[in-house]
């Protein structure tokens, strides 16, 4: 039995998230079925994180154990051939130690949230960014975001369905930048609560629009109450960017 680490890129639009679901297609199901067609084995895909319906990934790390002999290149090529035309690609594949685990060995995760801030409707980016037509103050959003950086109880920014045992997390980074008409929000932490990034982004949008004063972000955090949440950003602007493991270089982007 060989353990392979996979790096997955996918468009989350047609999927009910990464994790296998009983009520609709998932990324996990698509990859596991592709492996079964190639190997005849019932392998289980383990990923660094979960994603909601419509959330995308640039480099989701995962692993799978396969008994049939493969080189990483052959496995990657075979998986990509079997996954077509689903919007999933295996962009890297490597043999790893038997005790390497995509989820439990991971020491850091990075997300990107994209807002297109213009009056005109979206065409090419319609399901790949959040369209906000009213002007947003990016500098105010960034200043307000810094109140969330550090170790806090993030109950306010946690889904009611979150299964995490503890709402306390350490947020390493929450930066807001504008590149032309696009606003990019970068979030980094060892791990996140369910809906945490989308909830933080939704409130930052209210700050940028002038609906919330900057201080309201810190007040919402301190409330430790989901009722204090102003807005949950839609899933289609969110991207899983990177999973970080011991011995791998960590560079802010």
- Which are the contacts of 124, defined by CB distance < 8 A and separation ≥ 6? none
Q: Are 148 and 200 in contact (CB under 8 A)?
A: yes
Please state whether beta strands 56-66 and 182-189 pair in parallel, antiparallel, or not at all (unpaired).
unpaired
In angstroms, the CA 10 to CA 12 distance is 6
Q: Which of 171, 168, 174 is nearest to 145 (CA)?
A: 174
Residue partners of 1: CB distance under 8 A and separation at least 6: 65, 66, 67, 98
Cα angle at 8 between 5 and 13, to 5 degrees?
150
Single out the residue of 101, 114, 106 nearest to residue 5, CA to CA. 101
Contact 121, 189 (CB under 8 A): no
Active site residue 166: no
Q: Which one of 11, 52, 65, 137 is the catalytic residue?
A: 52
Residues annotated as part of the active site: 52
């Amino acid at each position: 039995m060989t353990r392979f680490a996979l790096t997955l890129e996918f468009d989350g639009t047609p999927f009910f998230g990464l994790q296998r679901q009983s009520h609709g297609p998932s990324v996990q199901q698509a990859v596991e079925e592709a492996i079964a067609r190639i190997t005849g084995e019932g392998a289980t895909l383990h990923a660094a994180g979960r994603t909601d319906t419509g959330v995308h990934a640039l480099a989701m790390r995962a692993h799978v154990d396969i008994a049939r002999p493969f080189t990483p290149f052959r496995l990657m090529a075979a998986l990509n051939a079997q996954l077509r035309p689903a919007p999933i690609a295996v962009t890297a594949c490597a043999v790893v130690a038997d005790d390497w685990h995509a989820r439990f060995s991971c020491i850091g995760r990075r997300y990107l949230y994209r807002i297109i801030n213009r009056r005109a409707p979206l065409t090419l980016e319609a399901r790949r960014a959040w369209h906000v037509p009213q002007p947003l103050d990016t500098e105010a959003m960034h200043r307000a975001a810094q109140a969330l950086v550090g170790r806090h109880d993030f109950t306010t920014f946690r889904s009611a369905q979150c299964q995490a045992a503890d709402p306390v997390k350490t947020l390493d980074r929450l930066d807001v930048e504008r590149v032309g008409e696009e606003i990019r929000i970068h979030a980094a932490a060892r791990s996140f609560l369910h809906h945490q990034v989308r909830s933080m982004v939704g409130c930052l949008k209210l700050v940028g629009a002038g609906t919330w004063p900057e201080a309201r972000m810190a007040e919402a955090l301190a409330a430790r109450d989901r009722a204090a949440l102003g807005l949950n950003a839609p899933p289609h602007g969110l991207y899983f960017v990177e999973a970080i493991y011991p011995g791998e270089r960590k560079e802010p982007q």
